[in-house]
Amino acid sequence: MSKKRVWAVLFLATTLLLSACSKGESGAATENATGENNESAGSGLKPAKLKIVLYGDESARMKELAKTEFKDIVKKEINAEVEFQFIPWTEYGGGKTDLMLSTGEDFATYTDTNYMVKSVAKGLYADLTPYMDSAAADMKKTVDEHSFKAFQLGGKQYAVPVGNKPNSGEFYSVLVRQDLLEEVGMSGVSSLTELEQFYEKALAAHPELVGYASTDARRLLMYEYTDKNLYWQNDFLALDESAQDDKIISWFESEEFKAYTQIMRSWYERAIIPKYAATNTPQLQSDWNSGKAMFWAGTAARPFEGAATISQAVPDAKLTNYFLSKDLPKISRGTYSTAWFVSASAADPERYVMFFNLLQKNQELYDLFAYGIQDKDYTVDENGRLTRLTTDALIPDWLMMNKNFMRFDKSVPDDFIEQYKAWDDEAVISKGAGFNFDNTPVKNEETKMGGVFSEFLAPIASGFLDYDENFPRALEKLKAAGFDKYIAEYQKQFSEWYAAK
């Protein structure tokens, strides 16, 4: 059996791939979501105002629906008025988001586990535990239980997971422009050597293109530089999922990191990672979206997440996911897309949880928030297949995706749907899933380490700086920041949690 896993699909077809549940008669989504049965659902609640922060650009259609149908249904269901505020992705996990939290704004947006831990330690997230059994009752039936546990600290729920989709092996595959691959006479890639050959051939044919549209390839290249099945807890620490132990690996002090940086240095010197990436990382995302890059880190969903943008630039593009060289078990952190937190200054945290619940409550509400108004924004055929009548993004597709409600466009092949659904079948849940580190004892050290990472370690990891010349000084800085104390505390907490599990 071949060692590589190959998952291919026509990219243009997948621009409308959104889900697999069927629905009834035309118009039912709007009628059921806003109809008589739900008319008094929020009548017993006092009025509330909520601010939902989303990252990226707001479409004209999203702006319109936020003032009409979205507004009406949220008012009817939970007697709340919602303001959607869009800010750039560069403000996620810091920047304006941190400023809004520290200045006491009343809002909610999404988080990851690392950002959650840091923010909870500062007292910036509301404790949502009291509202989970009541306000989140519906979504707890459609979102995996492990996903809720991933956003708990000390038994308290500090963020509410959203989404339920295949998530294993995130960024461990390489997502290749299959159309370019075939154009230069190649059918696939199964190793680093073949991937680099693809780059050289495609560059000769299209010198205007760039190679890799990112600066982090530690996951997709992992099978090339180690026999371990590494899974990262954060930028500094990893687990070997193939080992039956609780050992925390110091990533930057490992031989694997050294081997990895040699590949990345080569990529930077050969311009596989474009030279401008050292000073203008956001341009990489723009290059990928506009079809100017050859490959990217892949996931089960990436062939269709954000597909509308790239298909507009390159209508005939095709994408394929490949795993390089080895076929170790894919590791899963859980099936969530992200999780919502509520700021500690929020006047009504429970009402926010009620809003999160609406997004994953039932087919009718899911259709409304994900696709808009039936027969105006989309249609559904007798087989439950979706056709989008507008390409404007609403609540982001990647955020909403729940396998219980997702719809697929009728042009998507059945075998693609089957492969997507089966993506997690042989996956292994990480032995660290559900563990969240309490950084309180070492938060000063962690802050200093973050500075060392940005200034010294990240440039080495991305290949911008030579390892042999720069790493000894970077490690010295890391140790001076208190890294040994940090990893000792992390190991202590993880071992206690692992033993109790």
How many domains does the structure of the chain reveal? 3
Q: Kindly state whether residues 29 and 114 are assigned to the same domain.
A: yes
pLDDT recorded at residue 28: 38
Output the domain CATH number for residue 244: 3.40.190.10
Confirm if 76 and 41 have CB atoms less than 8 A apart.
yes
Flag whether 143 is in a domain: yes
Most confident by average pLDDT, 149-153, 334-338, 339-343: 339-343
Q: Are 20 and 403 in contact (CB under 8 A)?
A: yes
Strands (E), 171-292: 173-177, 210-212, 230-232, 237-240, 249-250
Whether 295 and 273 have beta carbons less than 8 Å apart is answered as: no
Residue 413, domain member (yes or no):
no
| Higher per-residue pLDDT: 186 or 154 | 186
Question: Does residue 127 sit within a domain?
Answer: yes
**Among the listed ranges 85-99, 385-399, 479-493, which one has the minimum average pLDDT value?**
385-399
Distance CA 94, CA 278 (A): 20
Per-residue model confidence as pLDDT tens digits over 179-220: 999 999 999 999 999 999 999 999 999 999 999 999 999 999
Domain boundary at 269, 301, 330, which? Answer: 330
Query: pLDDT category, 40, cuts 50, 70, 90?
Result: low
- Residues 230, 294: one domain? yes
**135 and 283 both lie in a single domain:** no
Nearest to 379 by CA among 407, 337, 418, 359: 407
**DSSP summary character for residue 343:** B
Contact predicate 30/23, CB 8 Å: no
pLDDT (tens digit per residue) in 234-275: 999 999 999 999 999 999 999 999 999 999 999 999 999 999
**Least confident span in 13-17, 47-51, 368-372, 496-500:** 13-17
Give the separation between CA 410 and CA 407, rounded to whole angstroms: 9
Q: What is the mean predicted confidence (pLDDT) over 337-341?
A: 96
Both 311 and 448 in a single domain?
A: no
Does one domain contain both 69 and 186?
no
- Boundary (domain end) residue, out of 330, 356, 379: 330
In a domain, 470, yes or no: yes
Claim to verify: residue 39 and residue 154 sit in the same structural domain = yes
Instruction: Answer yes or no: do 303 and 390 share one domain.
Output: no
Residue 219 and residue 323 in one domain:
yes
Neighbours of 380 (CB within 10 A): 23
Are residues 27 and 121 both part of a single domain? yes
The two structure tokens encoding residue 44? 């017993």
Q: Is the pLDDT score of 42 beyond 80?
A: no
pLDDT confidence of residue 320: 87
Tell me which residue of 462, 480, 459, 486 sits closest to 470, measured CA to CA.
Answer: 459
What's the pLDDT band for 301 if we cut at 50, 70, 90? confident
Residue 331: DSSP 8-state: E
Report CA-CA distances (Å) from 205 to 10, 185, 356. Answer: 22, 11, 48
DSSP 446: H
Statement to judge: residues 378 and 239 lie in one domain:
no
Distance CA 132, CA 152 (A): 12
For residues 124 and 207, membership in a common domain is answered with no
The domain boundary, picked from 304, 330, 356, lies at 330
Angle between helix 69-78 and helix 60-67 axes, rounded to 10 deg: 40
Q: How many CB atoms lie within 10 A of CB 442?
A: 20
Residue range 61-84: average pLDDT? 97
Q: Is residue 94's pLDDT more than 80?
A: yes
Same domain, 321 and 354: no
Containing domain of residue 488, as a range? Answer: 440-500
Residue 6 lies in a domain: no
- 433 falls within a domain: no
